[in-house]
Amino acid sequence: MKKLIVSLVVVILSAIIFLGWGLDSFFNEYQHKKNTDEFSPYRQIINSLANTLEETGNLAQFVSAWQQQNQQQLTLTPISEFPLPISLRDSFSQGHPLVLESAELITVNKLLQTQQQVLTLSIPQQGKQQDNLALQIILTTIFYLGVLLCAFIWLGPLIKRLQLLRNTAKRFGEGDFSARINISNSSYIIDIENEFNFMAEQINTLIKDNKLLSNAVSHDLRTPLARLRFGIEALGETNNPKNKEKYVRHLSRDIQEMENLVAVLLNYASLEQKMIKVKRMPLNLNALIKSAVRNLTSSDACSVAMDIAKLAKENIIIDGDENYLAMLINNLLSNAQQYAAKHVRITTQQTCNSVSMCIEDDGPGISKEMREHVFKPFTRGESDTVQQGYGMGLAIVVRVAAWHGGKVSISQSEVLGGAKFKVVFKRASH
């Protein structure tokens, strides 16, 4: 919106300044030429009259006769009673006519050298103001039309981009969720277009997640539900106390599995709702990793060695939410521990602009074909020996990293041979 407002102000001000200056210059030039051409006949008349009077010598009789026969007044004034500025005096003394103009009259003056008197011819103004008014109306109309033309020229690209935004939004509303606006740096509404593309991407992600969740839930819930139905039927058909106790334990296990699945879904949904509530503050990434490793190794579930000797010696500071970043690190460590054979390696480093964290394991790794899919909800790894969890950990990792402006990538570990997860954040500005 800033670019839109600035461009509009620049166009309008430029149109007003340059059009106004140009039309004003034209009017002044026109007036100058008109005045020069208009007064030329008057100068010829006064020169002819002066030459005639110089030859006849009877000035008073000629002037009296002129007054009776013509509307224009002709007068004689002694040179001593006709003061002039110094700038005009020399030219007038050399015999050049002097034209003076007022709102009512145009006076043409000529010095009679032999008589030392000034001959003045007074001519009433005739329609000059009407001509100037008409010209001013025309130039004012041209000025406003010019401003409107500049505005329309400016509006052309804006209307084109708005139509593109409308058509893209219409396509998106009709179900084409891949519809995006091709961003142009010259667009006045580039901020709105970027926001639309971001919104469209978010909606598309939510729709895909919803489909994945629906499919996964229907698949993962169907198995414990089928076992529950079978267990209830078997429980109703047996009278053996031991078998009843066994069936009850199985039913309880299946119910617990369903509760765990529902808890995972609610947790994932709550992450969506809290996306805009990330509270950023400076955090020491190494300290977060060490804390997560201590919590993991203190539990009975961890049976592999966590190597944190490769952590950067200096403190690595990033801006983020401590709870969510701890969740990201815990999920990556749990995933590595789950698939590792004996060893997990953790390294950190920083550059001028970025901070990276790598977690590697010596497990079976992840094929190139599966690396994009494992970040989707309810997608598990390819290992046949590990089937724990619901495939939500890496989906949460990607989401939390995105909230912090980070990116997650998967490759093969050059050191341990298994999977290598790398998370890159922007370095804190502090």
**What pLDDT digit, counting tens, does each position of 392-428 carry?**
678 788 888 888 888 999 999 888 889 999 999 888 7
User: Are 126 and 247 in a shared domain?
Assistant: no
Q: Is residue 193 part of a domain?
A: no
User: Are 162 and 292 in a shared domain?
Assistant: no
At residue 34, the pLDDT reads 56
Q: How far apart are CA 22 and CA 276, in angstroms?
A: 54
- CATH no. for residue 221? 1.10.287
User: Are 250 and 114 in a shared domain?
Assistant: no
Q: Is residue 204 part of a domain?
A: no
User: Are 80 and 175 in a shared domain?
Assistant: yes
Choosing from 273, 293, 318, the residue where a domain stops is 273
3-state secondary structure the chain: CHHHHHHHHHHHHHHHHHHHHHHHHHHHHHHHHHHHHHHHHHHHHHHHHHHHHHHHCCHHHHHHHHHHHCCCEEEEEEHHHCCCCHHHHHHHHCCCCEEEECCCEEEEEEEECCCCEEEEEEEECCCHHHHHHHHHHHHHHHHHHHHHHHHHHHHHHHHHHHHHHHHHHHHHHCCCCCCCCCCCCCCCCHHHHHHHHHHHHHHHHHHHHHHHHHHHHHHHHHHHHHHHHHHHHHHHHCCCHHHHHHHHHHHHHHHHHHHHHHHHHHHHHHHHHCHHHCCCEEEEHHHHHHHHHHHHHCCCCCCCEEEEEECCCCCCEEEECHHHHHHHHHHHHHHHHHHCCCEEEEEEEECCCEEEEEEEECCCCCCCCCCCHHHCCCCCCCCCCCCCCCCCHHHHHHHHHHHCCCEEEEEECCCCCCEEEEEEEECCCC
User: Are 257 and 320 in a shared domain?
Assistant: no
User: Are 134 and 30 in a shared domain?
Assistant: yes
Q: Is residue 205 part of a domain?
A: no
At residue 351, the pLDDT reads 85
Q: Which domain holds residue 234?
A: 215-273
Q: Which parts of the chain sit beneath pLDDT 70?
A: 1-9, 27-39, 55-58, 71, 103, 125-133, 135, 209, 212-221, 223, 260, 264-278, 297-304, 309-310, 312, 377-392, 429-430
User: Are 262 and 338 in a shared domain?
Assistant: no
What tokens does 124 get? 């009433």
What tokens does 16 get? 């007003």
Q: Is residue 267 part of a domain?
A: yes
Read off the amino acid at residue 246: K
Q: How far apart are CA 14 and CA 203, in angstroms?
A: 42
Q: Is residue 125 part of a domain?
A: yes
Q: How far apart are CA 418 and CA 363, in angstroms?
A: 5
User: Are 233 and 114 in a shared domain?
Assistant: no
pTM of whole model > 0.75? Answer: no
User: Are 296 and 156 in a shared domain?
Assistant: no
At residue 127, the pLDDT reads 46
User: Are 239 and 90 in a shared domain?
Assistant: no
Q: Is residue 357 part of a domain?
A: yes
Q: Is residue 197 part of a domain?
A: no
Q: How many domains does the chain have?
A: 3
At residue 423, the pLDDT reads 93
User: Are 268 and 393 in a shared domain?
Assistant: no
Choosing from 256, 273, 290, the residue where a domain stops is 273
At residue 99, the pLDDT reads 82
First to last CA, the chain: 29
User: Are 181 and 254 in a shared domain?
Assistant: no
Q: How far apart are CA 348 and CA 221, in angstroms?
A: 39
Choosing from 273, 291, 311, the residue where a domain stops is 273
What tokens does 276 get? 């805009």
- CATH no. for residue 322? 3.30.565.10
